[in-house]
Structure 1
Amino acid sequence: MIEEKVTPQWRIIASEWLVKSGCLYMLAWGDECSLWDDLVDIANLEEFGYSEIPDEAFVMTTWHESQTLEEVFRFTKGFAIHPHVELKRTLILHIAESDMQTAFLQMYNDA
């Protein structure tokens, strides 16, 4: 969830971190979410030298600029499925100045 402007370099570093950390399905919502989607795709390609990405390491990406956050959380729980790997964990990354952890966790649990 992107609610804070960040530098292009910060976006690249965060995208690379997501891929290197084992993220297999990234959903972007908020400010410039389609750009985040593209950068995670690029980081996934770079991780494998722009050659074929193994099925079990392919990062699925979606962006949700027209949906509400509630809709994105419902999509996450019902439709964010990797075709080759069972996804067992969900990481909610909120890029913002304010801490909304409690509210967002409740919203996610209610979805």
Structure 2
Amino acid sequence: MQAKAHYLQLRPHDALPDLTHLAPFMAIVVIDDDSDEMWRWDVARWLVASGCRSMLAWGKECESWHDAVEDAALEAFDYDDIPPEQIVTVSQHADEDLDEVFWFARHRASHPALRLNTAVILHVAMRGRPDELLAQLAEA
């Protein structure tokens, strides 16, 4: 599993900070609140451009988040061949408990060409839960 875990809360329509210093990283997107499609696509493109190379989505509309990041990764290479180290693996976990998603992230999720030593919990929520979610990931 990743040696370092970070937490970032985003409220829908928040500005998107620079994460390139964490690249390459795994993003565990925990969606507690609704967001509109345009912002979701902006976040997906930002994740890919920032160096996210594996994304796990859980929570509200996680299927839409999965599709947005998958498409953003393809779009970044004009829907052409993607170099192995630039591939973004994506999964959605609509039917699982968050504990199971964190366990999968720590023990099973992998990238075909890179070792991802950093995980970012991207929490889409009006109310943050950094201590709770970081502890939950650490205990998975």
Q: Same fold (TM over 0.5)?
A: yes
1:93 aligned to which of 114, 119, 122: 122
The alpha carbon displacement at 1:96 in A equals: 0.6
The whole-number CA distance in structure 2 between the counterparts of 1:44 and 1:99 is 27
For normalisation by structure 2, the TM-score amounts to 0.78
2:65 alignment partner in structure 1: 36
Higher percent of residues as helix: 1
Higher percent of residues as strand: 2
SS of the counterpart of 2:55? Answer: strand
The alpha carbon displacement at 1:7 in A equals: 1.1
The whole-number CA distance in structure 1 between the counterparts of 2:74 and 2:138 is 33
1 or 2 for the larger relative contact order (CA 8 Å, sep ≥6)? Answer: 2
- Corresponding residue pairs, total: 111
Letter in 2 for 1:48: F
The whole-number CA distance in structure 2 between the counterparts of 1:78 and 1:109 is 11
SS of the counterpart of 2:107? Answer: helix
Unmatched runs of 5 consecutive residues or more in structure 1: none
For normalisation by structure 1, the TM-score amounts to 0.98
| RMSD (CA atoms) | 0.6
The whole-number CA distance in structure 2 between the counterparts of 1:45 and 1:105 is 30
1:4 alignment partner in structure 2: 33
SS of the counterpart of 2:101? Answer: helix
Residue deviations 1:1-31 (CA, integer Å, cap 9, x gap): 0111111110000000000001000000000
* Identity among equivalent pairs (%): 40
Runs of 4+ off more than 2 Å:
none
Unmatched runs of 5 consecutive residues or more in structure 2: 1-29
1:56 aligned to which of 76, 85, 102: 85
